[in-house]
Amino acid sequence: MPALILFLLLFFQAPALAQEKSDSTRHHSLVREKSDSTRHHSLVRETVRNFDRFDTNFIEPQHYVFTVMLQATHTYDIFTLRSAGKDAQSITFSPDMKLKVGPFVGWKWFFAGYTFELGNVNLAHIKQQLDLSIYSSQIGIDLFYRRTGNDYKLRDARLGTDVDTQMLEHQPFSGVKAGITGFNIYYIFNHRRFSYPAAFAQSTQQKVSCGSWMAGMGYTRNSLDVDHAQLQRLVDKCMGSNTVQLDSGLMISNVSYNDFNISGGYAYNWVFAKDWLFGASLQGALCYKKSVGDAVGIKEGFDFKNVNLDGIGRFGVVYNNMRWYAGASVIVHTNNYHKPRFRTNNTFGSMNMYVGYNFGLKKKYKKDKL
């Protein structure tokens, strides 16, 4: 009888003991998951902080959280189309330089804005340009969207030996449309002592002259369309009885291509007076450019003929006392694209003048002022 009672007690207590063991297992599992999650968040937080760590003997960190800026920009855009062969023809287009203004806002690493042309009431002629930049001491990212209007003019034409083309110069031509959408990301090697944002984003202050090598990669989607028939009519109209037939290599219609690139270069900041800085940056890019329709009727895989060289240069002078800043900069891009029948070169950029104001003092600097 005692054995039977003991058996019944063990039989009814077993589920409760199992449940208690299961609850204990779940508790330890939750504690372990919470600990792993805490370590994961701590690692992410530490990684993000490392993006903005530098030697304060060389770089003064930003004292404010927010910034507003007004920028005036003169843009330039030169587009050259050249046919291939012994008797190659070439035509160069560019619009008149125009003034664009626009507001920009910044929050920590984030900086964005929009510019528009002044005095342009014809919406069909407006160039659209949107720039978004994210900077840290270690890494920079540029996102861009650019679309031309139809306000180009012929600046130079070479249509053959002994062919006088002066009557074509400065003639309006609305048959060129080009666009580019993409991004660039680059790494700054000497980021603890050199501040790229100090020269081109005004988010820090370079205290001692310093330079750094840079390397990066990027991708763009490009589009190009030239109305060949309209161009031929313009040549016939301006040249009259001396007109010439345009080469078939200049017949480019609705070309789209993808551009994958790796880049490298060097940048230097020269601190020539208190709160003053002159910065310069030169980068070359090795690009692989492939038309969207290249795979049709053409061998697949890598083709060295699709490799091009592009470049970008930036130059700027800045005054920055941490509360107010002002300056000017020049940015130059050059993009090349070639095929067996033609070559194109697009050199574009901007000359910028700006003034800005920082606000929202960070807590640690509030304590220093007390």
Give residue-wise pLDDT tens across range 70-122. Answer: 999 887 888 888 888 777 889 898 888 778 888 988 887 677 777 777 765 55
Q: State the pLDDT at residue 367.
A: 67
Show the low-confidence residues of the chain (pLDDT under 70). Answer: 1-52, 109, 119-133, 149, 292-304, 367-370
Q: What's the whole-model pTM score?
A: 0.76
Q: Indicate the CATH number for domain 51-369.
A: 2.40.128
287-291 long-range contacts, CB within 8 A, separation 24+ = 287/259, 287/260, 287/261, 288/259, 288/260, 288/261, 289/222, 289/257, 289/258, 289/259, 289/260, 289/337, 290/257, 290/258, 291/255, 291/256, 291/257, 291/339
Q: Which residue has the tokens 């007109």?
A: 243
Q: Where are the domains of the chain?
A: 51-369
180 in Cβ contact with 114 (< 8 Å): no
Query: What are the tens digits of pLDDT across the range 52-70?
Result: 677 889 999 888 999 999 9
Q: For position 158, what pLDDT does the model report?
A: 87
